[in-house]
A and B are shown apart, each in its own frame.
Chain A
Amino acid sequence: MKKRVLAGFLALAVALSAAGCAKGNSSSAPASSAPNSSASAPVQTTRAAANEIVVGIAQDLDESLDPHYTVAAGTREVMFNVFEGLVKPTSEGNLVPAVASDVSVSEDGLTYTFTLRQGVKFHNGDPVEMQDVLFSIERNAGADGSAALIPALESIASLEGEGDTLTITLSEPNPEFLSYLTLAILPADYDKQDTAPIGTGPFRFVSRAAQDSIVLERFADYWGTPANLDRVTYKIIENVEGLVLGLQSGALDLVSHMSGVQTAQLKASDFNIEQGTMNLVQALYLNNAVKPFDDVRVRQALCYGVDKHGIIDLAFDGYGHPLGSSMYPAFGKYFDESLTDYYTHDVARAKELLTEAGYPNGFSMTITVPSNYQPHMDTAQVIVEQLKEIGVTATILPVEWASWVSDVYSGRQFESTVVGVDASDMTARAMLARFESTSGKNFINYSNAEYDALFARAVSTYDDAEQTEIYRQMERNLTENAANVYIQDMADLVAVRKGLEGLTFYPLYVLDVAALRWAK
């Protein structure tokens, strides 16, 4: 009897697997299961024919998809293609009219006049009307008495929409005001933005399966140049090697933010590796309020002791743009290249400074690192080795991201940390404002009277040239006072399957898929 039971089991197993195989071969996309004998022929010709691509991303979009509430850079990177504001950024870092067709600013910089573009539709087919624009701006300006989502909008004195004309009057001039109007225009009468967002961009949101995929499709009624691709699927693969495997196996066509080690594993015949930057400032951020970092000499000693070029070589395979202050190259005119090597790698000078400051035999310190960011963990490991040379014993304290945000960023309970700080909008002010001594975002507790004075001047001036000059002076202040040990703007390596063209880099953490297309 048992024998028959066992035989039954075996038969069942065989039957199931046979059925699975048979069904698998007929129902799955042929390209993914067909063995490919020719190594150099493009693997995903079916997707090119279907005019769609699959992008691999390492971060899940595990938050509200409502663009006004989105926090994570990874979410904004994807949803950039779904939403637009009155103006939107270009890859050169300029702003062009989007939902607005025309923008003009008054002489005194207090009045902004927008003309609503004709024929702009939301993804649900409804036309964009003035009430939607007003709704979107008011939502971010703290209309109902709550704090403004975008603090700069608090300077709006009045908001008037007449017909097709929107007039915004400010209480004080702000040369960077326009960049805040890249905020997404959303329909006023729709309440499901959290999970099924609707915008005006070239792609519309189709679906999100947690930890699995996001699907976007071309929006046929887009007001501007329509996107080339019909469909973009983002596959979420949190595992580093999984992304590489996905590219190699043909499952993925494009992956951003790869490291040199990862791209080295890809066949040159199948992929082009494009290089941009991550647009952030990676540094060993020092808690200026904690001994011994409250002494500028100690901070400077660390700057001399850490070899940023060595870090870039060892941990990043030579890819990366070294930095000397809290600004990165994409900011163009604001970026002061001369600050980069202000502190050369000088072990002797470092030891001298330490002795002067009262630490002839060095000291111990901890470096708190968010453990989910491998690049920062790698950097920290190299720093530990480098600091040994100047007598400083550093210990790495890995913490979960949630703990990092609550303990380090908000609670400011740390000695030093390695992390990358970016600007969520394209303003130099966003990068520098946080080091003003009373700023709520001043997690390093930087306190410098000269810096504060400069900042006060910068925000009150309307002259662009003057403001730029002041910002540059502020950067210099940060460098000379060794606010942090600046390292680099990390390289953004993008693996693109051969045949896929149109990738452009933005000075923001976004991936513009509207410009991508398969070569004919």
Chain B
Amino acid sequence: MNKKRFNGYLTAGLLITGILVLLTVIGAFYTPYDPTAMSGAAKFQGPSFAHFFGTDNFGRDIFSRVLKGTGTTLTIALATVAIGAVVGTAVGAVTGYFGGAVDEVLMRLNDALTAFPSILLALLVISLVGPGNKYNVVLALGIVFIPSFARVTRMSFASLRDTNYILGARLMGAKSGRILLVHMLPNTMRVVLPAITIGFNNAVLAEASMSFLGIGVTPPDASLGYMLSEAQGMFTSAPWYALFTGLMIALLVFGVGLIGEGLQQLEREVA
């Protein structure tokens, strides 16, 4: 009954995401055209062999820009999730394992941060550290993502705390730090990994929304979200700009989402 089935989701997800990442990595070194090169003659051309995704209002090649933009989006999303996961897990570990007053205080703070509209929080951090460039967006979003990781890992740590083998380790005199790192952390991975895929997708969409609203990334660091907001303004003249950019965002999130599904299926089979 627990025969290992072909995990279609994982395969498909890895395939899609893999191709996109590969394209993006190649795009970091080579693009068919310089993404910022403008050409008055080539404005608003539809998709063709010369320009796979067509050109925009400045005559720039959309395919090259999308490649670069996906790179920016990927970087931001990965960095955001990294910050959220690392700091969030640390917070979750401390509160889940030690409990008590520290737990209460940090959890109240956590709840308050969750109640804080993420856009406001992100905007405030950005205003503090400096406007519009990608590092600040990462910092802002990373902070926004910490609470959810903290909550998820806290439950995991808290439930593991009272299991027999942890109690055993403590009885044997192992230090808290060692217990947390060596014994508990690997077990929380089962919970954190799916949270990371979900978090990644949320990060992509959050960054896209913020850039769309004009408070995220802005030129020259064009991300997919920013490009989509530009594209929206010329939907009638050049629908391909919006369509391809939106498609890219959707594909990226879709691919990672499938990976998440695949991981869950893996979990079910192992369980």
Contact = CB atoms under 8 A, between A and B. Distances in A.
Give yes or no for direct A-B contact (beta carbon below 8 Å): yes
Interface of A: 239-241, 244, 261-262, 264-265, 310, 313-315, 371-372, 374, 377-378, 380-382, 384-385, 395-400, 403
Contacts of B40: 310, 313-314
Given A240-B232, A315-B58, A398 B218 contact: yes
B57 interface: yes
Considering the complex of A and B, which 7 residue pairs feature the smallest CB-CB distances, nearest first?
A: A265-B236, A398-B218, A240-B233, A398-B132, A241-B232, A399-B131, A313-B40
B117 interface: no
A35 to B, nearest CB: 20
Given A315-B58, A395-B220, A261 B233 contact: yes
A377 B59 contact: no
Interface string B29-60: 00000001110100000000000000001110
14 contacts: A241-B233, A264-B236, A264-B237, A313-B40, A314-B38, A380-B219, A381-B36, A385-B37, A396-B218, A396-B219, A396-B220, A398-B218, A403-B127, A403-B131
Contacts of B220: 381, 384, 395-396
Which of B36, B38, B127, B237 has most A Cβ within 10 Å? B38
- The B interface, classified by DSSP as helix, strand, loop or mixed, is loop
Contact of A241 (B58, B131, B219, B235): B235
B234 interface: yes
Contacts of B219: 377, 380-381, 396, 398
A23 to B, nearest CB: 31
Majority-rule SS of A interface residues: helix
Q: How large is the interface on B (under 10, 10 to 19, 20 to 34, 35 or more residues)?
A: 20 to 34
A371 B131 contact: yes
Nearest to A372: B214
Interface of B: 36-38, 40, 57-59, 127, 131-132, 214, 218-220, 232-237
A310 B118 CA distance: 41
A273 to B, nearest CB: 15
Nearest to B217: A398
A261 B234 contact: yes
A250 to B, nearest CB: 16
Contacts of A377: 218-219
Contacts of B58: 314-315, 378, 381-382
Contacts of A396: 218-220
Nearest to B236: A265
B36 A384 contact: yes
A381 B232 CA distance: 18
Contacts of B218: 371, 377, 396, 398
B132 A399 contact: yes
Nearest to B230: A374
